Structure 1
Amino acid sequence: MKAPPATPSAAARPLKRPRQARARFTVQAIYDAFVRIWQRDGWDRLTTRNVALETGIAVGTLYDYFPNKTALLSGYVRHCIEALLAAIEREAVQPAGLPWEERIHQLVRLVCGVDAPELPTFYPGMLALEAQMAEPRDHRRAHEELVAAWGRVLAACTDLPRTTAPDLARKLHLSAWGGRRYVLLLQLGPEEMRQWAHGVEQLCCAAIRQAD
């Protein structure tokens, strides 16, 4: 009697995270090859074997981390979120002496993914595959991390015109992140994306100025 197949949520997760520098370098190379093949050949023709060949590593090494391409996608999405969080900290939280408007500009630029070459590419196709790799707890985790990042940016704005409400970070995050997910589905062009991001920034600044 055959064992029941693994559920999508169980099969679609990386097996481990890279801890040492060499392992992180290897996984980054895997992600880079993953993106190149997806762009060039499409999702249906993307395989873990092709990724290993393009990366120049043994297939077994790739399988140490990713049992299948859906697990690889899951790992890449998490990589995108972690890169975004690190960039927000670096560009919008840590710099000293930035006016609050500039902190919000940097935050919105990164969250909206507009003119942000320091971030890994996020594809519309990822949204179509979410059900295969993500559970509600995964969405909740990303949501809480991003709300916290918005909160850290607002806390770093020591020159705000007035005190902001405790839940403002959550409201702004949901507005911006929900909008980004939708514009990905619409596949807006670069100039349309810039116009949308500019509108998001204006709305965020207006909400901050009006906050009680």
Structure 2
Amino acid sequence: MKSGFGNTRGGAPNVNPRAKPLKRPSQARAIFTVEAIYQAFVRIWRRNGWPGLTTREVALEAGVAIGTLYDYFPSKEALLSGYIRHRLDALLQHLDEAVVQANELDWATRIKRLIRLTCTPDDEHQPFFNHAVLLIEHQIAEPKHHRRLFDELSQKWREAIAACGDLPVPPSQATIDAWVIMAWGGRRYCVTAQPAAAQTAAWLSEMETMICSRLANGS
């Protein structure tokens, strides 16, 4: 039986092929068009909720033909998938620009910025990456997608730590991977559990203290 939730094989979700974007824009005009589609998508979702969102309404609000939208996104699930990938790419780029390439920073400041940008649940660079998205994430994401993001985040953390020329003793790759799991896993749980602002702030502070202490002690 087919459905938007996919079938299950070997305990892993099988995402409906229509939940995948058909292509990614490469030319400037196409990039501009898809960005307009994403902006309309977010506005309508905030206004009408996920059940009330349709690809036709997104195309109308974005000012593009429905056929143009379908060139990229065969369904609203595919549009969600493309949007999340778009925002995650933006996060990785922001980490590169604000942390990896920030050569004026000492190691402690660089690491704290790395943690904050990775962890903060309400980061302005990740609009609408929230509890509503996590509730329907299984419709668009397979384990391989989560693994790819983990690999990309771990690589960016390794680059950021490698850029700390004044760091006493660099950590092992296994340690960095463990920190990424703690950071990204904690962020996702904050989005799900929605703790009080003070609790989230305490968690972020503890992440900074723990990682910076480990790095300072070279252990």
Match of 1:127 among 124, 127, 134: 134
Describe the superposition over 1:56-82 as per-residue Cα deviations: whole angstroms up to 9, x where unpaired. Answer: 111111111000000011111111210
Separation in structure 1 between the aligned mates of residue 125 and residue 41 of structure 2, nearest angstrom = 18
Match of 1:43 among 40, 50, 63: 50
Mean CA deviation greater in 159-168 or 32-41? 159-168
Report whether the alignment pairs 1:100 with 2:107.
yes
Q: TM-score, normalised by structure 2?
A: 0.88
Separation in structure 2 between the aligned mates of residue 5 and residue 167 of structure 1, nearest angstrom = 39
Instruction: State, as a whole percentage, how many aligned pairs show the same letter.
Output: 46
Separation in structure 1 between the aligned mates of residue 196 and residue 65 of structure 2, nearest angstrom = 38
Separation in structure 2 between the aligned mates of residue 169 and residue 138 of structure 1, nearest angstrom = 20
Residue 191 of structure 1 and its aligned partner are, at CA, apart by 4.8
Q: Which runs of 5+ in 1 are unaligned?
A: none
| Secondary structure of the structure 1 residue equivalent to 2:173 | coil
Separation in structure 2 between the aligned mates of residue 48 and residue 113 of structure 1, nearest angstrom = 30
**Change beyond 3 A, Cα 1:5–1:188:** closer
Equivalent residue number for residue 166 of structure 1 = 173
The answer as to whether partners of 2:121 and 2:187 remain within 8 angstroms in 1 is no
Residue 25 of structure 1 and its aligned partner are, at CA, apart by 1.0
Give runs of aligned pairs for residues 4-23 of structure 1, distance below 5 A.
8-23=15-30
Give runs of aligned pairs for residues 190-209 of structure 1, distance below 5 A.
190-209=197-216
Describe the superposition over 1:23-75 as per-residue Cα deviations: whole angstroms up to 9, x where unpaired. Answer: 11111111111111111211110111111111111111111100000001111
Separation in structure 1 between the aligned mates of residue 61 and residue 196 of structure 2, nearest angstrom = 29
The answer as to whether partners of 1:109 and 1:115 remain within 8 angstroms in 2 is no
Partner AA of 1:131 in structure 2:
H
Match of 2:75 among 58, 68, 75: 68
Residue 19 of structure 1 and its aligned partner are, at CA, apart by 0.2
Describe the superposition over 1:126-160 as per-residue Cα deviations: whole angstroms up to 9, x where unpaired. Answer: 11112111111111111100000110010001111
Give runs of aligned pairs for residues 77-116 of structure 1, distance below 5 A.
77-113=84-120, 116=123
Describe the superposition over 1:5-28 as per-residue Cα deviations: whole angstroms up to 9, x where unpaired. Answer: 795341111000000111111111
In the comparison of the two structures, how many residue pairs are matched? 209
**Change beyond 3 A, Cα 1:70–1:82:** same
Separation in structure 2 between the aligned mates of residue 23 and residue 154 of structure 1, nearest angstrom = 35
The answer as to whether partners of 2:38 and 2:83 remain within 8 angstroms in 1 is yes
Separation in structure 2 between the aligned mates of residue 114 and residue 182 of structure 1, nearest angstrom = 9
Partner AA of 1:45 in structure 2:
G
Q: TM-score, normalised by structure 1?
A: 0.90
| Secondary structure of the structure 2 residue equivalent to 1:106 | helix
